[in-house]
Amino acid sequence: MRIITFGTFDVFHIGHVNILERAKELGAYLIVGVSSDALNISKKGRPPIYSQADRMKIVDSLHCVDKVFLEESLELKGEYIKKFNADVLVMGNDWEGKFDCFSSLCRVKYFPRTEGISTTQVINMVRELA
Ligand code: C2G
C-alpha cells in the first residue's frame, strides 16, 4: 500500500511526527507533499518560519518517510495522488470531509489531531518568552 499525505510541517513538532507515524502504519511506502513557501504566502499571507528546503529536509530525515515532494498548489492534489499511485490519502481531522472528493482515486482517511500543540502555539510561546 502506498500512502500520501500533505502539510506545511513548519516549526516541526510532535503533532507532525504522530500523524506521519500513524500514516506509515497503514502501508509500506509513505509519500509526503510539503507545501511550498509560495503556497503558504498565498494561503496565509506570510512565509513559513522555515524555508521549503529545510522543511523538506526535516521531513525526509524521518525513518517513517520514504519520499518527499514539493506541493505547489492545493488544486493539484488529485494529480499528485495519480502521479505517485497512492492507495490512501491521510490528513488530520482539521481537514475532515475536505478531501472526500478524492475518494474515487484512493481511500481517504482522517486521523485525530494531536491535542495541545500547533505551529501557531509554538510561535506564540516563543514570542512571549522573548
Ligand atoms: N497535525 C496534527 N496534529 C497537530 C498539528 C498538525 O495531526 N497538533 C497534522 C495536520 O492535521 C496535517 C499535518 O499535521 O495533516 C500537517 O499540518 P500542517 O503543517 O499544519 O499542514 P497544513 O497547513 O494543514 O497543510 O494540502 C494541505 C496543505 O499542505 C496544508
Number of domains in the chain: 1
- Which helix (DSSP H) or strand (DSSP E) does residue 41 occupy? helix 37-44
Query: Comparing C-alpha atoms, which of 57, 58, 5 is closest to residue 27?
Result: 5
3-state secondary structure of 88: strand
Domain of residue 121, residue span: 2-129
Digit-coded pLDDT (tens) for 82-112: 999 999 999 999 999 999 999 999 999 999 9
Q: Whose CA is nearest to atom 13 of ligand 1?
A: 7
User: If residue 67 lies in a helix (H) or strand (E), which one and from where to where?
Assistant: strand 67-71
Q: How far is the CA of 59 from the centre of ligand 1 (A)?
A: 13
pLDDT at 130: 83
For residue 48, what pLDDT is reported?
A: 97
pLDDT in tens, 25-67: 999 899 999 999 999 999 889 999 999 999 999 999 999 999 9
Atom 24 (ligand 1) nearest CA? 7
Query: Ligand 1, residues 16, 81, 108: which to mutate, most atoms within 8 A of Cβ?
Result: 16
Closest residue CA from atom 2 of ligand 1: 113
At 101, which CATH number?
3.40.50.620
Beta bridge partners of 71: 35
Residue 76 Cβ < 6 Å to ligand 1: no
